[in-house]
Amino acid sequence: MSKSDDETTISSESRDRSAGRRHRVLALINPVLHCRATCAQLIEADVNLVGIVEAETKSGGLPLVTLRRLLKKQGVVSTASQIAARLVYQAENRKADRRVYEQLFDTQHIEEVLRQQNAPVIRCRTYSEPAAREAMADLQPDVLVVHSQSWVPRDVRQLPTTGLVLGGHPGLTPFYRGSHSSFWALLDQQPQMIGWTAFHIDKGVDTGDVIVQGRLEVQPDDSYMTLNWRGMSEIAKAQAAAIREFDRTGCMRRTPHECIPPESNFGLPGLPQYLKYRSSQNLAR
């Protein structure tokens, strides 16, 4: 099938069965406001959200799971450099970022929308926990929407009856995948490559077929973190729109990548990269 013809992998028979009904949607998130905002956006778009799965990645307020993963993957020196870069960034930008965050994500409104929906919430440490997977299966999801730093294992991705697992990335794939795509685009002097992608999740890191993408213009109050958050907001709107279209027609767009460069998967910036970022560009904090 050619790229232009590949709008869905669902068979004609399955597409006919899917058209004209509200599909059961299950959201997999972390228990933080910008992830919960995705659930609120789905609800406000009249998506049939039947449940929320919250995977807690922190212990005592610290991202110990992420820290252990980084130490195992890249060692002490690189991890320490990344922590130092993050601490310097926060010291310089915490207050300004908080103002933008509060503008993008209205806590009171989001929590009120979630209360009114009253969808069941499954809490876990990882999505692979047997009890969590069983509870997810009991909800009989047709579609999964993932807004989470936690890895979604294959057996969970196989739960939806339609095979649809939707994700998002605050960067333009396949060119900027992984962590903090806006940072790396700005460091590379490519502000035109700042954006967001809604896509079909597969086994790779931000490698799935694209549903829709969009670019973001850097605003005067932006940092690379606020650009990430603005991308997340756009992704949630795009996912909701794609599901509503799927409800109506049984079709969902998917455009595979012609090529995925291995070097396009970026990690967290270390202190040397952050210092270069500060000195080499002046578009964002």
Identify the residue with better confidence: 3 or 73: 73
pLDDT band at 7 (very low <50, low <70, confident <90, very high): very low
What ranges make up the beta strands (E) of 96-179?
121-124, 143-147, 164-169, 177-178
Instruction: Please name the residues in contact with 269: beta carbons below 8 A apart, sequence gap of 6 or more.
Output: 82, 85, 179, 180, 183, 184, 187, 277
For the chain, domain boundaries: 12-280
- pLDDT at position 91: 97
Q: How many Å apart are CA 122 and CA 135, to the nearest integer? A: 7
Strand-pair category, 164-169 with 143-147: parallel
Long-range contacts, stretch 214-220, CB < 8 angstroms, 24+ apart: 214/238, 215/172, 216/182, 218/186, 218/191, 218/194, 218/283, 218/284
Closest CA to 252 of 140, 158, 162, 178: 162
- Edge-to-edge strand ranges of the sheet holding 121-124: 121-124, 49-55, 25-29, 143-147, 164-169, 195-200, 210-215
- pLDDT at position 64: 80
Q: How many Å apart are CA 112 and CA 115, to the nearest integer? A: 5
Compute the Cα dihedral for 101, 103, 107, 109 and give only its sign.
negative
In the predicted structure, residue 14 carries a pLDDT above the cut 70: no
Q: How many Å apart are CA 188 and CA 171, to the nearest integer? A: 14
- pLDDT at position 69: 86
In the predicted structure, residue 128 carries a pLDDT above the cut 80: yes
Phi, psi at residue 17, to the nearest 5°? -70, -30
Q: How many Å apart are CA 269 and CA 143, to the nearest integer? A: 34
Domain 12-280 has CATH 3.40.50.12230: yes
In the predicted structure, residue 9 carries a pLDDT above the cut 80: no
pLDDT in tens, 155-205: 999 999 999 999 999 999 999 999 999 999 999 999 999 999 999 999 999
- Is the CB of residue 141 less than 8 Å from the CB of residue 73? no
- pLDDT at position 65: 79
Structure-token pair, residue 172: 């333009």
Structure-token pair, residue 9: 């992998």
Crossing angle for the helix pair 64-104 and 271-280, to the nearest 10 degrees: 30
- pLDDT at position 15: 65
Mean pLDDT computed over 262-283: 97
In the predicted structure, residue 12 carries a pLDDT above the cut 80: no
